[in-house]
Every structure is written in C-alpha cells, then in structure tokens.
A and B are shown apart, each in its own frame.
Chain A
Amino acid sequence: QSVLTQPPSVSGAPGQRVTISCAGSSSNIGAHFDVQWYQQLPGKAPKLLIYGNSNRPSGVPDRFSASKSGTSASLAITGLQAEDEADYYCQSYDSSLSAYVVFGGGTKLTVL
C-alpha cells in the first residue's frame, strides 16, 4: 500500500494529452513538500522527469508538465508519442513518523 495514490493505468492515442494523478495527504503533498515524477521505460532504471512540483531537468521535453494543488499533484503529457509508453511514479517527502521519502504505486501509460 503506497503512501501516494496513483491510478494503475492510463492510455491515450498518439498526439493526445493524458494526465496522471497523485493523491497524498496533509503530511506530504498537503504539507507543501515538493512532488517529483519519474519515468521508467521498460527494463530500465527510473529517470527523473519533474522535480520541485513543475521543473523539468535538462533534456526533458516540454511536452511533460506537472502541477500541484492541495494534497494532490498531476503529470500531464501532451502530444503523446509511442516512446512515452512507460511507468510513471510520483514521489514526495513525508513528515509523519510513518514515512520519509514516499512513492506512489506507479501508473502504466499505454500509447494506443
């Protein structure tokens, strides 16, 4: 049971826009801690996609964007491409006694 909740799967056709949600609580996202997003291509190590809620590391296309509001966050991918098919994970910091670094359960993006 992950501390952050993500939908197990989302899908979209090439060129479309998809969003992936990440629900947290008052001890993590709602406590104003930053949210990060990672992309894991099949058989590969995860890669940092978004940091500090909405910042893209160098080399990440601007088709990827993210936002945070209240106790949740979301990742948006526009102009969907076949190579975007991957697992996506959100991550935050938790101040409760039960956690420290927390991840979502991951969302499998399928490009139809």
Chain B
Amino acid sequence: QITLKESGPTLVKPTQTLTLTCTFSGFSLSTTRVGVGWIRQPPGKALEWLALIYWDDDRRYSPSLRNRLTITKDTSKNQVLLTMTDMDPVDTATYYCVHRPRLMTGTTYFDYWGQGTLVTVSS
C-alpha cells in the first residue's frame, strides 16, 4: 500500500525559504521509472504542478517557478524534499506530494496523493 505524507512549516514569512518533506512508503524511489512530485493548490484555485524527481535523479520543474525550486531525494530514508525560495503571500497554498508510477517516457500522471499541507505566507 502506497502512502505519502507531507510535513513542514505551516507559516512562513515573506522572503523566507520553505522546505517541505514528503515521507513515503509502499514503494522505492530506486525503482526504474518511478517518480515523486509536488503539486500545490492555492485556496479556492486550481492545481499547479511544481516539480518531479525520478528514480535516476532526473529532475523537472515548472518553468514559471524553476528559479525558486529545488527537489531532492533521500532514497534510504524514503523522503523527497522540496525547497522554495523567496516566499510570497501568493505562494499560500496546500502543497501535495504525489507518486508517479512506472510509466514510459512521454507520459506522466499521479496515482497516489498525500493529504496535503497548508502553507501560509504572512508576516
């Protein structure tokens, strides 16, 4: 059974750096073609994909946020970290950790989602 759980601060100040941790179980991020990603959703708004890291450490980022994001993995701990620099109130959102199953290149979807963690950016 695959589970993912997000953890991190619930409140950050503008200009600070946010670091979120996704702790997962039920799969290994060393399995070929598996990935873990992050998606966020501002209150009352749509889903926005942020980043994705693959089993082979290939990393993909949202073009609009590329300069602010870093995704890393610790396979031994079953964790994926996301850092986002220079936080702004518009970054207030629920941040979801997601599992990408073993798919061929050229397609991606997310079959398991964490419960999400609400991060508020405010001074």
Contacts and interface: CB of A to CB of B under 8 A. Distances in A.
A45 B108 contact: no
Interface in B92-123: 96, 106-111, 113-116
Interface in B57-109: 60-63, 96, 106-109
B67 to A, nearest CB: 15
B115 A45 contact: yes
Contacts, number: 57
Contact residues on B (Cβ < 8 Å of other chain), bracket: 20 to 34
A91 B46 CA distance: 11
B56 interface: no
Contacts of A97: 63
Contacts of B106: 33, 93
Q: What interface size band does chain A fall in? A: 20 to 34
Contacts of B47: 38, 46, 89, 91, 103, 106
Given A33-B107, A45-B114, 12 more contacts: A45-B96, A46-B47, A89-B47, A91-B109, A93-B107, A98-B63, A100-B61, A100-B108, A101-B108, A102-B49, A103-B46, A103-B49
Interface of A: 2, 33-34, 36, 38, 45-48, 51-52, 57, 89, 91, 93, 97-106
Interface of B: 37, 46-49, 52, 60-63, 96, 106-111, 113-116
